[in-house]
Amino acid sequence: MIIGIDLGTTNSLAAYFTPEGPKIIPNRLGQPLTPSVVSVDGEGTVYVGETAKERRILYPDTVAAAFKRSMGSDREYVLSGKKFRAEELSSFVLRALKEDAEHFLGEEVTEAVISVPAYFDDRRRRATKRAGELAGLKVERIISEPTAAAIAYGLYERKKNTRFLVFDLGGGTFDVSILELFENILEVRAVAGDNYLGGEDFTQTLLKLFLKKSGMKQEDLSRRDEVRFYNEAERAKRQFGESGEVTLSCRLSGADAPEEKSAVVSYREYAKECEPLLEKIRQPVKRSLSDARLKLSDIDVAVLIGGATRLQIVRDFVIRLFRKFPDANVDPDEAVALGAAVQAAMKERRSEVREVILTDVCSFTLGTDVVVDLGNGIREPGHFCPIIERNTVIPASRTERFYTACDGQSRIRIRVLQGESRFSQNDLCLGELEVEVPKGPAGQESVDVTYTYDINSILEVEVTVLSTGETKKAIIKGADSQMTDAQIAARMEELAYLKIQPRDREENRLVLLKAERVYEELLGDERRMLEYQIQRFEEALRSNDRDRIRTEREALQARIEGIW
């Protein structure tokens, strides 16, 4: 069974294909969205999703979130004294989605189509694939989120030729993609984006405004209070669509009585503080239109995906920018996962899916570094020479000729780079290839360098020495940290000591965590009444009586909901 997975910064979800179309797979708590949050306690138990999110308030040093932003980097997260990279934390989320899908579908899930932001470079895409492999999934296809969303919206079934722009603002990343439909061909014309811009930034902006109005500084907050204030800002951020102002209120924990902090923030104040973020959104839109050689008036449909597009401030900005109301026929949180499920069905060659040809583009320019003649006998190394420009439709093949840079040179080294900077040190090095050339004066010997890039992000580099005919080829599969199958298996074995929270216990654990968090917020009789209910539930858990556990869990949930 192949499923589609949207591995998000804030939330993740999975979907599968049915004769009636793609459907979302509910997680173990019956919810469509699984928070992309991981917690590891001192005993090595791993908590994923809502349970980990609750632990973030009580045990902030054991929890990691928004780690998708570090995908493919060397950053390590320390949870309860144990170190994890972003792809390893992501693998826990993917494993939870895999287990939930197997439980829901009643069969083994062996493979997945996983979506990534269109602006993810090769290193981040490879890290995403490794995360899937660490979770026990075969990941043969990585699909760009805007392309998946376009499939979900059914845009490829429109009767007439259509140009549309997919505006994808998630929790931590922003993509804008321009696609064009022609008959049964769905072609990506251009992509742009920002891997460090998303809904989390809009929350941080409101948090800073809240703290400023409360006369506080973020660095003065304890870890627990910081999480509480952030959660309050996250809640308030979603309410701006209902009124012109919001009230934020949060208690500071202390040795004595907790101190209450509150502030009223108007939509006008918030919008002014968000102007730098909105300008950061505007730039990728302009770049994608420029690369596609289109104007805003050429766009037939604007599609919003990503949970952050629900924010009123984002919706207002999009309407002003495009001078039209965007298409919102599919839940923006679910569109990518649904599209990935359709792509999975295409891969399985399901008869219910009409085959559509998908074309993609290079998100970043591919090239090499060269020595530049500045005149007066001055030569400066370290300049970037593009070979396949960004937003070139793939598969693509391009050839450039290069010459020896100094007298007596016997070797030419081709460093394979990805990026947009004119200086090679600022671009990502994917690998290198070296050939021997006959010695001679500078500029006498030359090589033809051919880059061939396919839709699966595989780059073939071929270097031919013109004077000797010698040819060397190499397949550039990704970053220098690429793990082999043996290395992945070894790391899986290293992580085997971790105990994934059992499905049948997670709901109980989640209720207890919520109760503990609410208990800390209460005083007086309310606190004592909640403590009594918690004790009854703990006694039921010790009894191992399922009916009694269910009854007391529901009573504890009712008590919590009655308070808040």
pLDDT per position as a tens digit, 241-275: 767 889 998 888 764 556 788 899 999 999 999 99
**Bridge partner list, 546:** none
| pLDDT band, very low/low/confident/very high, at 215 (cuts 50, 70, 90) | confident
Strand arrangement, sheet containing 428-436: 378-388, 366-375, 411-418, 428-436
Q: Which tokens belong to 427?
A: 């671009």
Q: Residue 350 above 70 pLDDT? A: yes
pLDDT per position as a tens digit, 351-397: 777 666 677 788 889 999 999 887 777 888 999 999 999 888 888 88
Residue 50 exposed, middle or buried by CB count within 10 Å (0-12, 13-18, 19+)? buried
Q: Where are the domains of the chain?
A: 2-198+277-361, 366-476, 503-563
Question: In the predicted model, what is the mean pLDDT of residues 457-469?
Answer: 89
Residue 220 exposed, middle or buried by CB count within 10 Å (0-12, 13-18, 19+)? exposed
More confident: 120 or 449? 449
The reply to whether omega before 386 is within 30° of 0 (cis) is no
The residue to which tokens 């216990």 are assigned? 505
pLDDT on residue 480: 34
pLDDT per position as a tens digit, 180-199: 887 777 888 898 889 889 99
Q: Residue 483 above 60 pLDDT? A: no
Cα end-to-end span (Å), the chain: 42
Residue 365 exposed, middle or buried by CB count within 10 Å (0-12, 13-18, 19+)? buried
| pLDDT band, very low/low/confident/very high, at 561 (cuts 50, 70, 90) | confident
Question: In the predicted model, what is the mean pLDDT of residues 46-61?
Answer: 91
| pLDDT band, very low/low/confident/very high, at 414 (cuts 50, 70, 90) | very high
Q: Residue 316 above 50 pLDDT? A: yes
Q: CB-based contacts of 293: which residues, under 8 Å, 6+ apart?
A: none
CB 415 within 8 A of CB 456: no
The DSSP element (H or E) to which 167 belongs, if any, is strand 162-169
Q: Residue 479 above 70 pLDDT? A: no
More confident: 148 or 476? 148
Mean of all residue pLDDT scores within the chain: 87
% of the chain surpassing 90 pLDDT: 45
Q: Which tokens belong to 563?
A: 């308070």
Q: Residue 498 above 70 pLDDT? A: no
DSSP state of 467: T
* Rounded (5°) CA angle 99-105-107: 75
CATH pick for 366-476 out of 2.40.10.120, 3.40.50.720, 2.60.34.10, 1.10.150.20: 2.60.34.10
Amino acid at 432: E
DSSP state of 23: E
pLDDT on residue 497: 57
Label residues 473-496 b or e (16+ Cβ within 10 Å = b).
Answer: ebebebbeebbeeeeeeebeeebe
Question: In the predicted model, what is the mean pLDDT of residues 554-563?
Answer: 86
Question: In the predicted model, what is the mean pLDDT of residues 401-429?
Answer: 91
> What whole-number distance in Å separates Cα of residue 155 and Cα of residue 470?
48
CB 170 within 8 A of CB 10: yes
Q: Residue 339 above 70 pLDDT? A: yes
What kind of architecture, by CATH, is found in domain 2-198+277-361?
A: 2-Layer Sandwich (3.30)
pLDDT per position as a tens digit, 7-38: 999 999 999 999 888 999 999 999 999 999 99
| pLDDT band, very low/low/confident/very high, at 346 (cuts 50, 70, 90) | confident
% of the chain surpassing 70 pLDDT: 91
Q: Residue 430 above 90 pLDDT? A: no
| pLDDT band, very low/low/confident/very high, at 121 (cuts 50, 70, 90) | confident
The answer to whether domain 2-198+277-361 and domain 366-476 are alike in fold is no
Helix axes 50-58, 223-237, angle to 10 degrees: 130
| pLDDT band, very low/low/confident/very high, at 506 (cuts 50, 70, 90) | confident
Q: Residue 305 above 60 pLDDT? A: yes
| pLDDT band, very low/low/confident/very high, at 100 (cuts 50, 70, 90) | very high
